[in-house]
């Protein structure tokens, strides 16, 4: 366990204040004091330091409380958008999305490349990502030197702490040290993170978990991912690695194990068609599999209806198990599979309702969200920002040189 010295104390309170300002928009010092339960004196000292460091800005308008109030008006504080820039990327099998954001996590520029990276070599993928990052940065009117940090969101099992990609459907190799690879290519600190963790943080900052510090997110893309938020922080496994939900076992056949990915993975839904799997081949290669499936389902394609129903059922059971283990107040379900439509969703909800133990039935609510790809990239950017927020900035340490 790390030792508690004044520096840690400072870092904790500083983060608290910064996070309060981020969450509650332009906010006055008194209100920060109320929300964070720090004394006004301390808030004043910390905000002073944050102002010196250029992380926040003052604004003399926008005091929302009863306009006809006496006394000295409050000075509102807000994040300085220009305090930092980060790049977030979401890499999927058929598509790469990049987003440059400011210190608040607001997107400055965005770039979607519908490129199939699936099964390419590492260096080719790294080339494409490097290119995308550079172009997106230019689009934002910046140069790479302005960027403080980059986060690449990938499907699969990612070890955030070490920067290792343990296994990913878009990499042929396993145990790739991708964070180092990209850091040396771009000469900007680059980290990797599970795409599910990225979208989970995006929802925590901007989406459907803004009000919660505990929740679970299930992502249904080519890979089935899980993000657990615990006391406001991502719950990373003991080794700091992310989970692969698709590996969950849902039953056991006469000979073989039935995994979730075999019932609800993108390939499972679209790939096992009776005509030998060729029907979707072209659409899937282009990343349009789910859109095509949606069309066919609307036309009552029986095979697909059955596949979607089965997939929904499997996911419903898996979600029930996750709720049993984590007991979150909310489960957010995202990903391309949602576009299968009501057939899938109803089946999912129904299976969940049957599978959830009655004793914890009321604990969790299910929320569905069809986020745009941009949101995933933004989430990756948020992962990078989170590290910046916690990092020891200028004034932490000895007294500022006067």
Interface positions, 103-162, toward a second copy (CB under 8 A): 157
Number of residues that bind a second copy (CB under 8 A): 57
| Site for a second copy contains 30 (CB under 8 A) | no
Site map for DNA, 75-94, x if CB under 7 A?
A: x-------------------
Between CA 333 and CA 77 the distance in angstroms is 34
Closest CA to 14 of 401, 383, 395, 385: 395
Mention every residue, 6+ apart, whose C-beta is less than 8 A from residue 312. Answer: 264, 340, 343, 344, 345, 346, 347, 348, 349, 350, 351
Among 22, 74, 85, 204, binds DNA (CB under 7 A): 74
Site map for DNA, 8-37, x if CB under 7 A?
A: -xx--xx-------------xxx-------
Binding site partner of 357, from DNA, a second copy, none, Cβ cut-off 5-8 A by kind: a second copy
In contact, 153 and 88? CB cutoff 8 Å: yes
**From the CB of 389, what's the least distance to DNA, in Å?**
16
Mention every residue, 6+ apart, whose C-beta is less than 8 A from residue 15. Answer: 389, 390
Comparing CB distances to a second copy, the nearer of 184 and 255 is 255
**From the CB of 357, what's the least distance to a second copy, in Å?**
4
Q: Which two tokens stand for residue 6?
A: 């004044």
| Site for DNA contains 255 (CB under 7 A) | no
Interface positions, 43-62, toward DNA (CB under 7 A): 44-48, 60
**From the CB of 47, what's the least distance to DNA, in Å?**
6
Binding site partner of 162, from DNA, a second copy, none, Cβ cut-off 5-8 A by kind: none
Interface positions, 298-357, toward DNA (CB under 7 A): none
Mention every residue, 6+ apart, whose C-beta is less than 8 A from residue 257. Answer: 249
In contact, 165 and 175? CB cutoff 8 Å: yes
Binding site partner of 29, from DNA, a second copy, none, Cβ cut-off 5-8 A by kind: DNA
Comparing CB distances to a second copy, the nearer of 135 and 310 is 310
Residue position matching structure tokens 């990373």: 236
Site map for a second copy, 170-199, x if CB under 8 A?
A: ----x-------------------------
Among 2, 61, 70, 276, binds DNA (CB under 7 A): 70
Among 4, 67, 299, 402, binds a second copy (CB under 8 A): 4
In contact, 95 and 113? CB cutoff 8 Å: yes
| Site for a second copy contains 306 (CB under 8 A) | no
In contact, 190 and 129? CB cutoff 8 Å: no
**From the CB of 80, what's the least distance to DNA, in Å?**
16
| Site for a second copy contains 320 (CB under 8 A) | yes
Comparing CB distances to DNA, the nearer of 9 and 249 is 9
| Site for a second copy contains 9 (CB under 8 A) | yes
Among 30, 124, 143, 257, binds a second copy (CB under 8 A): 257
Between CA 310 and CA 206 the distance in angstroms is 32
**Contacts to a second copy by CB under 8 A:** 1-6, 8-9, 12-13, 16, 36-38, 157, 166-167, 174, 214-215, 226, 230, 232, 235, 237-239, 241, 243-245, 247-252, 257-258, 313, 317, 320-322, 324-329, 351, 354-355, 357, 359-360, 363
**Contacts to DNA by CB under 7 A:** 3-7, 9-10, 13-14, 28-30, 38-42, 44-48, 60, 68-75, 396, 398-399
């Amino acid at each position: 366990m790390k030792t508690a010295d004044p520096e840690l104390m400072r870092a904790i309170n500083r983060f608290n204040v910064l996070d309060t300002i981020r969450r509650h928009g332009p906010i006055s010092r008194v209100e920060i004091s109320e929300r964070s339960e720090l004394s006004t004196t301390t808030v004043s000292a910390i905000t002073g330091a944050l102002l010196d460091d250029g992380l926040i800005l003052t604004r003399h308008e926008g005091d929302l409380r009863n306009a006809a109030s006496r006394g000295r008006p409050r000075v509102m504080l807000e994040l300085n958008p220009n305090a930092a820039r980060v790049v977030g990327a979401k890499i999927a099998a058929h598509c790469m999305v990049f987003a440059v954001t400011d210190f608040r996590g607001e997107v400055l520029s965005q770039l979607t490349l519908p490129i199939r990276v699936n099964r390419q070599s590492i260096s080719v993928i790294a080339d494409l990502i490097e290119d995308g990052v550079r172009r997106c940065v230019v689009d934002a009117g910046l140069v790479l030197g302005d960027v403080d940090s980059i986060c690449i969101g990938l499907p699969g099992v990612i070890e955030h702490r070490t920067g290792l990609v343990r296994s990913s459907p878009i990499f042929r190799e396993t145990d790739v040290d991708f964070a180092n690879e990209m850091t040396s290519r771009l000469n900007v600190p680059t980290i990797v993170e599970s795409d599910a963790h990225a979208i989970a943080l995006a929802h925590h900052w901007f989406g459907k978990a803004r009000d919660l510090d505990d929740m679970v997110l299930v992502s249904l893309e080519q890979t089935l991912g899980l993000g657990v938020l615990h006391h406001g922080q991502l719950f990373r496994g003991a080794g700091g690695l992310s989970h692969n939900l698709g590996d969950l076992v849902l039953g056991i056949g006469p000979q073989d194990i039935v995994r979730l990915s075999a019932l609800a993975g993108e390939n499972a839904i679209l790939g096992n068609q009776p005509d030998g799997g060729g029907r979707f081949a072209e659409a899937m290669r282009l990343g349009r599999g789910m859109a095509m499936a949606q069309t066919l389902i609307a036309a009552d394609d029986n095979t697909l209806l059955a596949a979607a129903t089965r997939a929904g059922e499997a996911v419903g059971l898996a979600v029930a198990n996750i709720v049993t283990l984590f007991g979150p107040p909310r489960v957010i379900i995202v990903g391309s599979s949602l576009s299968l439509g009501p057939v899938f969703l109803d089946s999912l909800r129904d299976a969940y309702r049957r599978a959830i133990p009655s004793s914890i039935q009321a604990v969790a609510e299910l929320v569905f969200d069809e986020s745009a790809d941009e949101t995933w990239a933004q989430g990756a950017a948020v992962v990078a920002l989170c590290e910046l927020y916690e990092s020891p900035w200028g004034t932490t340490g000895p007294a500022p040189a006067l």
